[in-house]
Amino acid sequence: MKIIVIAILLALAMSLAQAYPLQGGDTNTTVTLFGATRAPIADENITREILKIDVGLWGAENATYKLVDAKDNVYEPGLYKPLSSGKQLVYFLIPKDDLFKFITVTPASGKPMNINWWATPKGSNNNLVIRYYGITDWLIDPDEQGIVLQLRVTNNGTKDLYLAPQNFTLLDQWGWAYSPSAGFDPEVVAPQNATPTRLLLGFTGISLLSKPAALAYDYMTPNQIIIDLEKDQGQLSDVAVYGANATKSAISTLPAPATAPQAAEMINQTENNSTQANNTTSTKLTSLKDRIAASKARLEGLGGEPPADGQKSAVGSKLNSSLGSVRERLAATRANLDKSTQNNSQNNSQNSSV
């Protein structure tokens, strides 16, 4: 009986991870990309961020990596951090909100291999399309975790769409629902238009045992949209990456890597700042739960009609400062949630398609 139970649990675990890791290799080497997260740099004047890729390597002692974005810019790692035998984090310093086509992995004493990047998953109904761009910040303290997601919404309907953080719900692997504790300023999206920039949604008070599994729009309503953050996170096709008439050998024609001065130093400095924030005195951490509860209390009772004639509603005024205040409160635990809402770069049509 125990063997059957263990087998069922293993099957469930495999199904949760299905289609999310990306893999490539040859007869001697296998490379697996388990996931990637972004981390903001604690300086609002910097238009770059850190991308961390979780990599596993088998059949080779080491490898080098190059990342190619949607505009064919090439980025080299600024830092490597070993995790365990054959597993490590690879850090890249990239432009904010950048999208990627593939990563080139060159094993020691081996030939380069390209692994197509993740597609941006989306969900839709008759009136709108939601595109999910991933996790842009992740905060963990001894009791809970906070997560910031990035998305964009397109209005495919014939009427104005009123959009607010309260429209969205985060679900963990057990189906437990979390409401946003911080987010973008509510706005009206005209028919056949999209939000001008990507939107940020912050969730706090998440159990350390919970894993973000799905993002829902108008959850538990007839018009709900649910994006599975793993199964919908598929791999880009060769056509999307290389073009209809191109082949993977196109890597040889790419321009030289886009280098960032002192990339490793900037990454190290950001990591050191985070470590120092985690080591602050217990006095600064004692009322974390109360501060998070206060943030959620401010969201409760927010209401009102969509703003008329382009004027901001009371909801918009309160939520406009919500993200900044939540980040200040959480900064005592880890200085991650900076004012990235104000620094969202505009998403061009090429990035949207990729």
Give the pLDDT mean for 128-152: 90
Coarse DSSP helix, strand, coil percentages of the chain, rounded to the nearest 5 percent:
25, 35, 40
Give the whole-angstrom CA distance, residue 77 versus residue 94.
Answer: 10
On whether both 62 and 79 belong to a single domain, the answer is yes
Region 150-171 average pLDDT:
95
Among 38-42, 104-108, 129-133, 319-323, whose mean pLDDT is lowest?
319-323
Q: Residue 1: inside a domain, yes or no? A: no
Q: Does the pLDDT at position 118 exceed 80?
A: yes
Looking at residue 317, what is its pLDDT?
37
Whether 180 is in a domain gets the answer yes
* Among the ranges given (37-51, 75-89, 145-159, 169-183), the one the predictor scored with the smallest mean pLDDT: 37-51
Residue 210: the pLDDT is 95
Specify the residue for token string 């009371």. 314
Q: What is the mean pLDDT of residues 161-181?
A: 95
Q: How far apart are CA 205 and CA 178, in angstroms?
A: 8
Domain-located, residue 275: no
108 shares a domain with 216: no
Residue 110 burial (CB count, 10 A): 15
What pLDDT, on the 0 to 100 scale, is given for residue 109?
A: 78
Whether residue 326 has pLDDT greater than 50: no
pLDDT of 190 strictly over 90: yes
DSSP state of 224: -
Cβ atoms of residues 273 and 335 within 8 Å: yes
Flag whether pLDDT at 21 surpasses 50: yes
Q: Which one has a higher pLDDT value, 45 or 85? A: 85
* H or E element that contains 17: helix 2-17
- Is residue 218 very low, low, confident or very high in pLDDT (cuts 50, 70, 90)? very high
Label residue 237 by pLDDT band (50, 70, 90). Answer: confident
78 contacts 91 by C-beta, under 8 angstroms: yes
Q: Tell me how crowded residue 116 is: count the other CB atoms within 10 A of its CB.
A: 20
Same domain, yes or no: 39 and 137: no
On the question of pLDDT at 142 being above 80, the answer is yes
Instruction: Average the pLDDT over 151-161 and give the result.
Output: 94
How far apart CA 152 and CA 161 sit, in angstroms, is 13
Indicate whether 343 pLDDT > 50.
no
How many CA atoms are closer than 13 Å to the CA of 155, on its beta-carbon side?
17
pLDDT for the residue 12: 35
Tokens 């120092």: give the residue: 276
Residue 166 shares a structural domain with residue 62: no
Q: Do residues 287 and 211 both lie within one domain?
A: yes
CA within 13 Å, CB half, 42: 18
Contacts of 184 (CB under 8 A, 6+ apart): 165, 199, 200, 201, 319, 323, 341
Q: Which residue would you say has higher pLDDT here, 296 or 227?
A: 227
So what's the pLDDT on residue 263? 62
Residue matched to tokens 């893999």: 23
In this predicted structure, the answer to whether residue 187 has a pLDDT above a threshold of 60 is yes
Residue 97 confidence (pLDDT)? 87
What whole-number percentage of the chain has pLDDT above 90? 42
Question: Stretch 312-333: mean pLDDT, rounded?
Answer: 41
Res. 177 pLDDT band, cuts 50 70 90: very high
Q: What is the pTM of this model?
A: 0.65
- Looking at the fold, whether 228 and 313 belong to one and the same domain comes out as yes
Whole-angstrom distance, CA of residue 246 vs CA of residue 327: 45
Give 130's pLDDT tier (boundaries 50, 70, 90): very high
**CATH number of the domain residue 30 falls in:** 2.60.40
Let me know whether 46 and 146 are in one domain.
no
Answer for the pair 52, 271: CB distance below 8 angstroms, yes or no: no
Identify the burial level of 260 via C-beta atoms within 10 angstroms of its C-beta, where 0-12 means exposed, 13-18 middle and 19 or more buried.
Answer: middle
Distance CA 115, CA 103 (A): 5
CA R_g for the chain:
21
Residue 164 has pLDDT above 90, yes or no: yes
The pLDDT assigned to 245 comes to 73
pLDDT confidence of residue 26: 82
SS3 296: helix
Please tell me whether residues 83 and 151 are part of one structural domain.
no
**pLDDT value, residue 266:** 59
Q: How confident is the model at residue 229 (pLDDT cuts 50, 70, 90)?
A: confident
> Has residue 352 been placed in a domain?
no
Residues 140 and 201 reside in one and the same domain: yes
Range of the domain at 290: 126-233+281-332
CB contact at 8 A, 40 and 342: no
The pLDDT tens digits for 315-325 are 333 333 444 44
Q: Which of 214, 215, 186 is CA-nearest to residue 315?
A: 186
Residue 270 lies in a domain: no
What's the structural domain count of the chain?
2
Tokens coding 135: 């996790």
Please write the tens of the pLDDT for every residue from 238-282.
Answer: 888 988 776 654 444 444 455 444 566 656 665 555 544 444 322
Question: Domain check: are 206 and 223 in the same one?
Answer: yes
Using alpha carbons, list the distances in angstroms from residue 61 to 56, 92, 106, 110, 114: 11, 21, 11, 11, 18
Identify whether residues 186 and 299 lie together within a single domain.
yes
> Does residue 305 share a domain with residue 209?
yes
* Residue 10 is assigned to a structural domain of this protein: no
What gap in Å lies between CA 104 and CA 336, rounded to an integer? 29
Q: How confident is the model at residue 182 (pLDDT cuts 50, 70, 90)?
A: confident
